[in-house]
Amino acid sequence: MAYNQRDYFFKKAKAENYAARSIFKLEEMDQRFKLIRPGMKILDLGAAPGSWAQYSSKQVGKTGRVLGIDLQPIKITLPNALFIMADMRQLDLARVMEKHGIAPPFDIVMSDMAPKTTGIKLTDQMRSVELCELALETAEKFLKHNGHFICKLFHSEEFERFRALMKPKFKIIHILRPESTRKESKEIFLVGMNYIAPKSAAAPAAPAASAPAASATPVSGKSDPA
């Protein structure tokens, strides 16, 4: 698929009404590792413009839920998704969940977050691994035992260090470069399956009883502020 790859996946996404060609990366990971099932609750970090959320929303169905976070507004509307416009580096996610009546833990925490590239390779790689560490910390707070974690990383010397960080926390770790990744891209995905939650971890706090059900919080055209 090297020849005219960009056009192929771009056009395919457009034809299938997906917000971005990134959909095919998640679809490939899901088809290979059987990650997303009906009824699941998914935390989507770096969700804009929304193709992973579109795919996940369809897979989890009416009884599932998707919470997407991004610096950018997300313009699509999905019946079982809530989008929050915020910087993950500063966001109090527990507070957001409580405010919107979304109770952790999540079945899947996935991060397609990517830094704005500067063109300086080392800076971009360092920022990418920082976002991965943040995603992993978030998973450790909100992922359920045996849940799955997906993370995109710009490949660098930091790769082995990050994989070593993930290793004791998951039963299986897959590394892959999806077919739809652009040839020139240095991105690589790590998929941690079957999270091993620390035995001593207290169950995450349930949202306030008075909070509205997440299913009653559809997104209408624009992203909510945090």
Ligand X SMILES: C[S@@+](CC[C@H](N)C(=O)[O-])C[C@H]1O[C@@H](n2cnc3c(N)ncnc32)[C@H](O)[C@@H]1O
Instruction: Give the residues lining the site for ligand X (CB under 6 A).
Output: 19-20, 22-23, 46-52, 69-72, 87-89, 112-115, 131
CB of 116 to ligand X, least distance (A): 7
The candidate with the shortest Cα–Cα distance to 60, out of 30, 83, 84, 32, is: 30
Instruction: Please say which residue, 68 or 105, places its beta carbon nearer to ligand X.
Output: 68
167 is catalytic: no
- Least separation in angstroms between residue 55's CB and ligand X is 8
Task: Considering the complex, state which of residue 110 and residue 208 has its C-beta at the smaller distance from ligand X.
Answer: 110
If the CB atoms of residues 168 and 219 are measured against ligand X, the closer one turns out to be 219
Cβ–Cβ < 8 Å for 97, 111: no
| 46: number of Cβ within 10 Å | 22
Identify the active-site residue in 25, 144, 152, 169.
152
Q: Give the Cα separation of 144 and 194 in Å (integer).
A: 9
Best CA proximity match to 221, nearest among 83, 60, 15, 22: 83
Give whichever of 90 and 212 is closer to ligand X, judged by the CB atom: 90
Question: Which residues neighbour 83 within 8 Å (Cβ) at sequence distance 6 or greater?
Answer: 47, 50, 53, 68, 69, 70, 73, 74, 219, 223, 224
List 151's β-bridge partners, or say none: 111, 190
Of 71 and 173, the one with the shorter C-beta distance to ligand X is: 71
Which residues, 6 or more positions from 198, have their beta carbon under 8 angstroms from its beta carbon? none
**CB 193 → ligand X: shortest distance, Å?**
19
Chain centre to alpha carbon of residue 98: 20
We find the least distance from the C-beta atom of residue 47 to ligand X, in angstroms, to be 6
Question: Which residues carry out catalysis?
Answer: 152
